[in-house]
Amino acid sequence: MTDSGQAAARTLRVGMVGHGFMGAAHSHAWRNAHRFFELPATPQLTAVAGRDAQRVAEAAERQGWLSTETDWRRLVERDDIDLIDICTPGDTHREIALAALEAGKHVLCEKPLANTVAEAEEMADAARRASERGQIAMCGFTYRRVPAVSLARRFVDEGRLGEIRHVRAQYLQDWLSDANAPLTWRLDKSRAGSGSLGDIGAHIIDMAQWVAGSRIEGLSAVLRTFVTERPVGGEFVGLGGAGSADGPKGPVSVDDAAAFTARFAGGALGVFEATRFALGRKNSLRLEVNGSLGSVAFDFEDMNSLQYYDGADDAEAQGFRRIIVTEAVHPYTGNWWPSGHGLGYEHSFTHQVADLVRAIGAGAQPHPSFDDALQVQRVLAAVEASAADRAAWHEVQG
């Protein structure tokens, strides 16, 4: 923390940039983490920044922030802020993060870390330098902290899976399946960087590598845009919304779907698919890992369970176990409710805050670091490079 007083040492003063969907999820986590987890410092929702004064004031009121700024630069300059939490679109991450690190703040940055590898490299470099000054930087790949996903990683660490042969990961949504869903910033390459690839593909890339404990070293990819223009000016409802089929249209400049095969450093064969056109799949983030000794499978549509197959079970009694990941022995869940009481989407943000605050207290780097996130960015870049090169195999750089 930037302040060394003992009282202040027991408070972590947070400034958040952006207050949309991610801002709400982060706010909830900052407000509640210390209610369920023993933390070395209590987060204070010190200030939130947004460009529109009225909207940021409403968000502050709604989400419990003590003050507001209409310029993120002002937020970064404030002395009473220990940590900057970046919840804006990807095209702004680099500038904010660099300024915050320069200002001596800890940083939590939403994923993807940036829209390009060059930006991400600059950010990771800055984070590495800041680390030497005791600052912590972390990227918000929250699905790692869904208890069932954390348990999958623990099983890999424990050797329960043996040598990993297969990793298959899918992130299936359907909110663009309607060809008249409106054009939003998420479909604009200059804002979002990419489409399904960076938005949801990044999640499964990070999650798969983390659970498998191994990085993707090469891949062959295709990108696809099914609907090339969409209504503009339509009201945005949730992630989807309803546009007008008759009004003016604008170009979709990102991918609707991405798919690639990959090779992990450990030798595993990966198959990845991310799409917003899988009609009926609302948020189906799936991961299956098959090893020589065991397998795990996860689907976010049943997020409180993990499928696990133990090849050492008696032959007559082998089968995938549906582990209800709500027990005191499971990651994170003992801090919440008694056995069998499931968690929801936003809990992984609370876990992220808990781990981050503890890491700050301990002066240790939490995962995922900016370097981890940079590597994901490199995988995204390799996907785009391969897709632009007739799907030919591309090594992941770095």
Residues in region 324-363 near a second copy by CB under 8 A: 324, 326-330, 336-347
Taking CB under 8 A as the criterion, the residue among 174, 188, 355, 384 binding a second copy is 174
Q: Is residue 185 close enough to count as binding a second copy by CB under 8 A?
A: no
Confirm or reject binding of residue 309 to a second copy (CB under 8 A). Answer: yes
Q: Which residues contact 109 (CB under 8 A, 6 or more apart)?
A: 86, 93, 96, 97, 123, 137, 138, 139, 140, 370, 373
Stretch that binds a second copy, among 72-80, 88-96, 288-296, 361-369 (CB under 8 A): 288-296
Distance CA 379, CA 220 (A): 11
Choice from 79, 102, 157, 313 touching a second copy (CB under 8 A): 313
Q: Which is nearer to a second copy, 46 or 295 (CB)?
A: 295
CA distance linking residue 389 with residue 378, whole number of Å: 16
Shortest Cβ distance from residue 127 to a second copy (Å)?
A: 29
- The interface with a second copy within residues 356-395 (CB under 8 A) comprises 390-393
- Which CB, 51 or 62, lies closer to a second copy? 62
Could you tell me which of 299, 252, 257, 292 has the C-alpha nearest to residue 274? 257
Q: Which residues pair with 171 in a beta bridge?
A: 274, 285
Count the residues in the chain: 398
Residues 205-234, one symbol each (x = binds a second copy by CB under 8 A, - = not), give: ---------------xxx-x-x--------
Q: Output the six-digit token pair for 136.
A: 């912590």
Could you tell me the strand order of the sheet in which 11-17 lies?
67-69, 42-49, 11-17, 83-86, 106-109, 137-139
Q: Which two tokens stand for residue 167?
A: 């990793």
Residue 180 and residue 242 in contact, taking contact as beta carbons nearer than 8 Å: yes
Under rule CB under 8 A, residue 305 binds a second copy:
yes
Return the number of the residue (136 or 176) whose C-beta is nearest a second copy: 176
Please report how close the Cβ of residue 149 comes to a second copy at its closest, in angstroms: 14
Quick note: the x/- pattern for a second copy over 97-126, rule CB under 8 A, is ------------------------------
Q: Taking the complex as a whole, how short is the minimal distance between the CB of residue 253 and a second copy, in angstroms?
A: 18
Q: How far is the CB of 354 from a second copy (least distance, A)?
A: 14
Angle at 113 between CA 112 and CA 118, to 5 degrees: 115
Measured at the CA of 331, the angle between CA 328 and CA 333, to 5 degrees, comes to 50
Which residue in the set 260, 264, 332, 370 belongs to the binding site for a second copy (CB under 8 A)? 260
Residues 57 to 86 in contact with a second copy, rule: CB under 8 A: 62-64
Strands 216-224 and 394-395 turn out to be antiparallel
Asked if 190 interacts with a second copy (CB under 8 A), we say no
- Whether the Cβ atoms of residue 150 and residue 119 lie closer than 8 Å to each other: no
Q: Exactly one of 135, 184, 290, 375 binds a second copy (CB under 8 A); which one?
A: 290
Question: Binding of a second copy at residue 291 (CB under 8 A)?
Answer: yes
Segment 26 to 55, residues that bind a second copy, using CB under 8 A: 27-28, 31-32, 35
Task: Report the residue number, 89 or 294, with the smaller CB distance to a second copy.
Answer: 294
**CA–CA distance, 83 with 44 (Å, rounded to integer):** 10
Cα(167)–Cα(207) distance, integer angstroms: 11
- Closest contact distance (angstroms) between CB of 103 and a second copy is 29
* C-alpha span between 161 and 309 (Å, rounded): 9
Euclidean distance between CA atoms 349 and 329, whole angstroms: 20
Binding-site member from 9, 239, 242, 385 for a second copy (CB under 8 A): 239
Cα separation, 12 vs 348, whole angstroms: 19
Q: Residue 273 or residue 371: which is nearer to a second copy going by CB?
A: 273
| Smallest gap from residue 200 Cβ to a second copy (A) | 11
* Binding footprint of a second copy, residue count (CB under 8 A): 100
267 is a contact residue toward a second copy (CB under 8 A)? yes
Stretch of residues binding a second copy (CB under 8 A), selected from 114-122, 136-144, 147-155, 244-252: 147-155
